[in-house]
Homo-oligomer: A and B are copies of this chain.
Amino acid sequence: MRQRHCNRPGGWQGKLRGCGYRITIGREAILDVLTKYKDKHLSAEDIYLKVHSIYSDIGLTSVYRTLDMLISMGMVSKFDFGDGRARYEIAGEGQKEDHHHHLVCTICKRVINYNDFIDEELQLINKTEKSLSEKHKFEIRSHLVQFYGICDKCKKKK
């Protein structure tokens, strides 16, 4: 799920403050991890373990809570790749270079980022978004495009 429209001045601290949230070391640590691993697809536990290794006071509960907050602000996107745990990525600020969609192996759950035809995709998505939001009176915030299939390795194993 991709988000946009999250540009407010003042970096992440400004964004949080602007939305009435407090600045805490836990939130900073979580954002740091998400930024460092922006092309990975970390689960809440992945994030917890990475943050915990630096700042061991953080709890898994807070990771979940912070992720929910960041998602509601559009700063983080949540994905479901079918392995029973949600994945999280920092949402690029609308720059095309950062924008990617996913190709998921339904067997081993491997995920590949791609941005082939991303211009065309985004163009069509924008058009569709505009039309849908008028027609259905939705305030559209994000979209999700994923392909599913069987990867090279899993095909060979069969």
Contact = CB atoms under 8 A, between A and B. Distances in A.
Kindly state the interface size class of chain A when it binds its partner.
35 or more
B121 A128 contact: yes
How many identical chains are in the complex?
2
Interface of A: 1, 78, 80, 82, 103, 105-106, 112, 114, 116-117, 120-121, 124, 127-129, 131-133, 135-152, 155
Given A117-B127, A131-B116, A149 B144 contact: no
Nearest to A144: B146
A155 to B, nearest CB: 6
Contact of A138 (B103, B121, B144, B146): B103
Contact of A120 (B124, B148, B155): B124
